[in-house]
Chains A and B, each alone.
Chain A
Amino acid sequence: MNFWRVLWSMVGKDLRIEWRTKQLFISSLSFALLLVFLMGLVLYGSGNMTRFADAGLLWLLIMMAGLFSLNRQDDKERWDGAIYAATLVPTDRSVLFYARVISHLLFVAVMEIVLVPLYSVVLGTSIQVAWGPIILVLLMGTIGFVAVGAMLTSLALTSSLREILVPLMIFPLSVPLLLGAVEVTSSILQGNWGKGVWWAVIGAYDVLFLGLPGLLYDFIAEV
């Protein structure tokens, strides 16, 4: 009971701050939009881009924008040590990790609602043919990426090198997830659901990286 109350209080606080400042959303979205238009510019007229390349670029775009916002999300927590209050919560400290995952998932999901259709238009990718499976793979892939990111930002929170450490760790750690998401997305763009093994890789990432940090967070959270 305590856990859920604290969890929703933390998520509510994150959303309130973001709603008030819009710093995270505006900066991440601006960065992502810039990337879309740059991609559109350099790939203009390349009609022979494969579905695999389409899917790969889309996921790189989502991960870059997601990483940008992950790094910035902790700024408000570091302001005058608010992050350390998490070690005092009267419930399991993993609540902080799950609150981060939920808040960040919401930010990235809203960003994707803007980005994916825009990407489709700018690069001429016909995502409109299969919205259902695309939404599912976007959701599953984003959950995995956000969970990995929330774990790594928690680990690197007190490090002065976190803005370098997190990208250095997150991309190698996300390679199987990225490959799975790209394989599945490219299959969907070609009109089928893709191989079950790649769906399983994405699903396994979600389960592993949502579960593992929850178990280890007490060790991670020490000041």
Chain B
Amino acid sequence: MSHLLELQGIQKSLGHRSVLNGADLTIDAGEIVWLVGPNGSGKTTLIKVAAGMSTPGKGTVSWFGNRPSPRLRARIGVLLDASFLYGELTAEENLFYYARIYGLQDARQKVQEWLERVRLHRDKHVLVKAFSKGMKQRLAIARAFIHQPEVLFLDEPYDGLDVASSQHLTAWLKAMREAGTGILLVSHEDTAFRGLSVRTLKLSQGRLIKGESP
């Protein structure tokens, strides 16, 4: 059976600096991989390459046993440091826009569900540019999760969240993992997901090595 995500020998340079130097990684259904490493070690670059947002210099990326393709992009979810939201749209309009992009049949219902889950239903008509960092992060989480992706790429998902929101996020990650979603997670907040069983990998000198569990 093929892996949900497989990276083989990924090399990537940014300018003259070699960031990834033969990184290998697999993620299977129901697995959470926690990626650790110091600032500038290439964690975000690895996520961008794995999510198909950046092309590796060398090496191969496969999703669900196939080369990344537009059709398969509907089955992945990505949350980076940027929220990918539009400041001049309301919370509801932003989510509805992404729900339409992903072709969700019950888009309006899904949008309302996720607005309630991230506790933004009372602010759904507020322009996102007026949101606090934490509110924006909650909406960005809803944006990344709304189409029920089978593989999730999360870069610092706990950033800006209050305690209650962090607990909710951990509970969703747990539920998604139990439903078979594979998750690649970068976070400095190891206490937030201490209850989760994760496989830890450390990015060192552009390669992935086994790391210590949180």
Listed in ascending order, the chain A residues whose CB lies under 8 Å from chain B are: 2, 5-6, 9-10, 13, 16-17, 20-21, 76, 79-82, 84-85, 87-93, 222-223
- A-side contacts of B87, CB under 8 Å: 76, 79-80
Taken together as a complex, chains A and B put the C-alpha atoms of A93 and B53 apart, in Å, by 11
Q: Is the CB–CB distance between A13 and B55 below 8 Å?
A: no
- A-side contacts of B81, CB under 8 Å: 81
Minimum Cβ distance to chain B for residue A171 (Å): 30
Q: Is the CB–CB distance between B54 and A222 below 8 Å?
A: yes
Taken together as a complex, chains A and B put the C-alpha atoms of A85 and B93 apart, in Å, by 15
- A-side contacts of B37, CB under 8 Å: none
Q: Is the CB–CB distance between B84 and A82 below 8 Å?
A: yes
Taken together as a complex, chains A and B put the C-alpha atoms of A88 and B100 apart, in Å, by 13
Taken together as a complex, chains A and B put the C-alpha atoms of A223 and B51 apart, in Å, by 11
Asked if B102 is at the interface (CB within 8 A of a chain A CB), the reply is yes
- A-side contacts of B97, CB under 8 Å: 9, 13
Number of interface residues of B (CB under 8 A): 31
**Chain B residue nearest to A18 in the complex (CB):** B88
Asked if B108 is at the interface (CB within 8 A of a chain A CB), the reply is no
Q: Is the CB–CB distance between B78 and A76 below 8 Å?
A: no
Q: Is the CB–CB distance between A81 and B73 below 8 Å?
A: no
> When the two chains form the complex, which single residue of B51, B71, B78, B82 contacts A90, counting CB atoms closer than 8 Å?
B71
Asked if B48 is at the interface (CB within 8 A of a chain A CB), the reply is yes
Q: Is the CB–CB distance between A88 and B85 below 8 Å?
A: no
- Given that A6-B101, A9-B97, A13-B97 are known contacts, is A91 also in contact with B70, CB under 8 Å in the complex? yes
Minimum Cβ distance to chain B for residue A17 (Å): 5
Taken together as a complex, chains A and B put the C-alpha atoms of A80 and B54 apart, in Å, by 18
- Given that A5-B100, A89-B73 are known contacts, is A222 also in contact with B89, CB under 8 Å in the complex? no
- Given that A80-B82, A80-B136 are known contacts, is A90 also in contact with B70, CB under 8 Å in the complex? yes
Asked if B29 is at the interface (CB within 8 A of a chain A CB), the reply is no
- B-side contacts of A223, CB under 8 Å: 48, 53-54
Q: Is the CB–CB distance between B82 and A5 below 8 Å?
A: no
Asked if B80 is at the interface (CB within 8 A of a chain A CB), the reply is yes
- A and B contact pairs by CB, cutoff 8 A, 17 listed: A10-B101, A13-B86, A13-B89, A13-B93, A17-B89, A20-B88, A21-B88, A76-B87, A81-B82, A84-B82, A87-B53, A88-B51, A88-B76, A90-B71, A90-B73, A90-B102, A223-B48
Taken together as a complex, chains A and B put the C-alpha atoms of A109 and B175 apart, in Å, by 50
Asked if B83 is at the interface (CB within 8 A of a chain A CB), the reply is yes
> When the two chains form the complex, which single residue of B70, B84, B88, B89 contacts A85, counting CB atoms closer than 8 Å?
B84
